Structure 1
């Protein structure tokens, strides 16, 4: 095996640029989704369940991380979890796998939270139009969280199909068999 490419989205794009792109995505998704919902659903808005909304808002991030873990369950012995602090107060959950994994499995693990949580939020907004503003905020927030995952998928899509992905301190290494040079 040899390293075909190393990807480090944080280093490549920079933290500030990723934060700005994520903010733009959050604002755009909220604006478009909320407007589209208001065009098709004309129910009065309700703030009845604001405490539940706050609880769900804070649970989106851990649920997102859990959904990354589910497709990698068979690799659980090679997974290491840690909590790092960003800005000295914001806990960030980190999950690293310490053995190479098939590209297709890794891409699937990156996309599962985006697909499942967003689908649940869209269906919730359609089924409960009185709370469409809550679902719009949650969807926008989750799409902003998914930016880094989608950037990694963008880079991985162009790698060889037989590649293996390995996480290192430098980022993600795309490994290919030596015979595929």
Structure 2
């Protein structure tokens, strides 16, 4: 099968690349677009280091042929922050020491972001289920779970403040 042009929306920008059928989404992100946040770990879908959001859902990008996601929307960890302003999840990871070596951190943040986008009030079990596909060899997971729960609380508090402000107007 010959190479073909693939168009994606990556971090809010339309992007194109010429891809072989064997080119993975991870390879496209790293090698064609220079986005190094998603890590190449096991290359078998087992570690979660390459997790990105594909049309809003967390996926391991090392297993997805990029030609199969033509026209999709991809969000990487680089596309989360607003300039220098970190997201609530990123801030919580910093505040709760949820990183050590940092290799798993982008994938963990993407899985946590997807969870909080669909469930603003997760239970501890929801968090552990959401990150179960992400392997961390350093933290013991406790700081990560704590950070995600703290991010959920921040997000709810911020939304409450926004609702109050809108109601006051």
Q: In which range does the TM-score fall when normalised by the shorter chain? A: under 0.3
Q: Which one scores higher on RCO, CA 8 angstroms, separation ≥ 6?
A: 1
TM-score normalised over the length of structure 2: 0.24
TM-score normalized by structure 1? 0.23
The structure with the greater share of residues assigned to helix is 1
Q: Which has the larger radius of gyration?
A: 1
Higher strand share: 1
